[in-house]
């Protein structure tokens, strides 16, 4: 039995069942149990002949035979139908979406994260497209156990948890994980598979637009993996937020696939991130795995006892400056690739040419540091193509080529902005948020592109010699030796991951060869 629920009634039901608690400010605090992040090894994609050659199969997109997948879906749907479940309907971009879950607070999460109205240009394209399905359906059993479904023939290693995506029927089955991010990321993955076939570029990115009187301001797009500042930097009081995680670039401009934000909350301070702080501390917001005192009802955003990956979801309207969701913003004036370099090898900021843009987009570099992932005790280079490999199921070259074509058509500038550590993580001095914000502001205004530049000796991109309002110490070039060590990791990753890519991308866009 499915019970249609609003966000408020879902929160009330969550409290009634003792599955969460309200803070002093009215936000809902919940715990996600064993999984406080995505279940990477338990994610599978249904192997269908219609799309088999269009998916980048591997550790990210593991195949599951159609016959087995059908049994999984049948089992989950049957359980949801025979139990008291909760239901949400809305939109992902232009796709209708339906979420059915055994957990009421996950329905409140879906209500926060998805759109109340479709993106008109995408909906129009979908209507005329010859697709087997145009509606995304998510079947959610967060506290169940895969073993209880007794399905024969499952891939070795699967025991209690499974995330299963079908790119043809556009269905998702989630079993055995309460981490809410699986819901939104699965929906976006399916969208990101379909959209390129409609000539629309999906981007794992945030976007905002400048305020402008009587006219639409200039827009920009910020790409970046977790921990690079994508959400933080996109929420700016002098710009209107289009979206903080999933953006689409259509023939006419930029839109947000989602209707909310899913912000990382660790070390959240009102002074540093006032918009996110206020949005997270209000009724309707859902806080996952944060420190919480049940007696005082106070939240401790610095508490890492459950996870480094504490999260908060809230609707876009909780933020002060939001771009109208029934409109499309102009194509971006600037695209910014955010990276948190922990080796002290990259400069604070650099401008990329067309080939470098494709190379760094396909590489999707940042660094993992101690505390951000189990087992990481020292800085480690991390590459995730398109700055979001798990959510971009087609080969990276597909998205990179679309990006290059749109950049060429619009004349957008592409920049690399380093939010990592000056001199390296071991020194502990990270670029201050104020410095990153100022550099970003100068990029968005077009001023930084007019500054004198120097050619980087290893990576070949243009590095500004000065920036108004930024001390010269933040703009100094790191040592060539450190840059060469990082460049070797870039080359190794590109050769391993993109052997079939256009060789000119590595030749003209990658680090300068030292041989």
Catalytic residue ranges: 38, 185, 204, 226, 230-231, 245, 311
Residue showing tokens 């055994």: 102
Q: CA angle 29-34-36, nearest 5°?
A: 55
* Integer angstrom CA distances of residue 134 from 97, 124, 151: 9, 11, 28
CA distance 512 to 459: 6
Show the tokens assigned to 251. Answer: 């023939």
Put the strands of the sheet holding 43-47 in their side by side order.
2-4, 85-92, 95-101, 136-141, 171-175, 162-166, 43-47, 62-65
Show the tokens assigned to 162. Answer: 């499974």
Per the CB < 8 A criterion, the answer to whether 262 and 371 are in contact is no
Show the tokens assigned to 476. Answer: 């100094």
* Integer angstrom CA distances of residue 2 from 7, 13, 101, 107, 139: 15, 14, 9, 12, 11
CA distance 70 to 405: 38
Show the tokens assigned to 341. Answer: 């370099």
Per the CB < 8 A criterion, the answer to whether 226 and 204 are in contact is no
How far is the first Cα of the chain from the last one, in angstroms, to the nearest whole number?
Answer: 66
Show the tokens assigned to 147. Answer: 């073993």
Per the CB < 8 A criterion, the answer to whether 94 and 120 are in contact is yes
Query: Pairing relation of β-strands 43-47 and 162-166?
Result: parallel
CA distance 515 to 512: 9
- DSSP E strands: which ranges in 323-369? 332-339, 349-352, 365-368
Buried b (16+ CB within 10 A) or exposed e, 328-351: bbebbbbbbbbbbbbbbbbbbbbb
Nearest to 106 by CA among 206, 20, 204: 20
Per the CB < 8 A criterion, the answer to whether 310 and 264 are in contact is yes
């Amino acid at each position: 039995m499915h019970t249609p629920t609003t966000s408020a009634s879902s929160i009330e039901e969550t409290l009634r069942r003792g599955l969460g608690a309200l803070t002093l400010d009215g936000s809902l605090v919940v715990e996600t149990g064993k999984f406080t992040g995505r279940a990477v090894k338990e994610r599978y994609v249904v192997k269908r002949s219609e799309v088999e050659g269009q998916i980048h199969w591997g550790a990210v997109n593991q195949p599951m035979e159609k016959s087995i997948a059908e049994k999984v879906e049948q089992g989950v749907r049957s359980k949801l139908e025979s139990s008291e479940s909760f239901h949400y309907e809305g939109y992902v971009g232009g796709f209708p979406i339906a979420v059915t879950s055994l957990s009421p607070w996950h329905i409140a999460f879906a209500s926060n994260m998805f759109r109340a109205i479709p993106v008109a240009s995408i909906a129009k394209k979908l209507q005329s497209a010859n697709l087997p399905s145009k509606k995304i359906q998510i079947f959610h059993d967060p506290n169940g156990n895969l073993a209880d479904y007794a399905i024969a023939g499952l891939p070795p290693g699967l025991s209690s948890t499974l995330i299963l995506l079908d790119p043809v029927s556009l269905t998702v089955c989630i079993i055995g994980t309460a981490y809410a991010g699986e819901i939104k990321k699965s929906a976006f993955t399916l969208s990101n598979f379909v959209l390129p076939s409609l000539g629309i570029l999906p981007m794992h990115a945030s976007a905002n637009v400048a305020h402008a009187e009587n006219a639409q301001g200039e827009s920009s797009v910020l790409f970046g993996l977790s921990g690079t500042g994508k959400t933080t930097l996109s929420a700016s009081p002098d710009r209107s937020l289009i979206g903080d995680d999933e953006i689409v670039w259509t023939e006419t401009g930029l839109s947000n696939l989602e209707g909310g934000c899913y912000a990382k909350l660790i070390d959240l301070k009102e002074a540093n991130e006032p918009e996110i702080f206020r949005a997270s501390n209000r009724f309707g917001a859902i806080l996952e795995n944060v420190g919480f005192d049940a007696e005082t009802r106070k939240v401790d955003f610095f508490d890492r006892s459950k996870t480094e990956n504490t999260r908060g979801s809230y609707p876009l309207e909780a933020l002060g400056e939001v771009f109208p969701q029934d409109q499309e913003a102009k194509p971006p004036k600037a695209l910014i690739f955010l990276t948190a370099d922990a080796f002290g090898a990259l400069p604070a900021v650099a401008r990329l040419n067309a080939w470098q843009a494709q190379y760094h987009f396909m590489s999707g570099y940042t660094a993992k540091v101690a505390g951000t992932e189990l087992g990481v005790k020292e800085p480690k280079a991390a590459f995730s193509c398109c700055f979001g490999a798990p959510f971009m199921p087609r080969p990276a070259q597909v998205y990179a080529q679309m990006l290059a074509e749109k950049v060429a058509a619009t004349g957008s500038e592409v920049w690399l902005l380093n939010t990592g550590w000056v001199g390296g993580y071991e020194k502990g001095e990270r670029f201050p948020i104020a410095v990153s914000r100022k550099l970003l502001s100068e990029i968005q205004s077009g001023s930084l592109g007019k500054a004198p530049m120097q050619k980087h000796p290893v990576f070949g991109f243009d590095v500004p010699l000065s920036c108004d309002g930024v001390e010269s110490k933040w703009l100094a070039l790191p040592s060539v030796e450190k840059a060469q060590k990082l460049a070797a990791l870039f080359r190794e990753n590109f050769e391993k991951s993109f052997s079939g890519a256009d060789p000119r991308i590595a030749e003209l866009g990658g680090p300068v060869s030292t041989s």
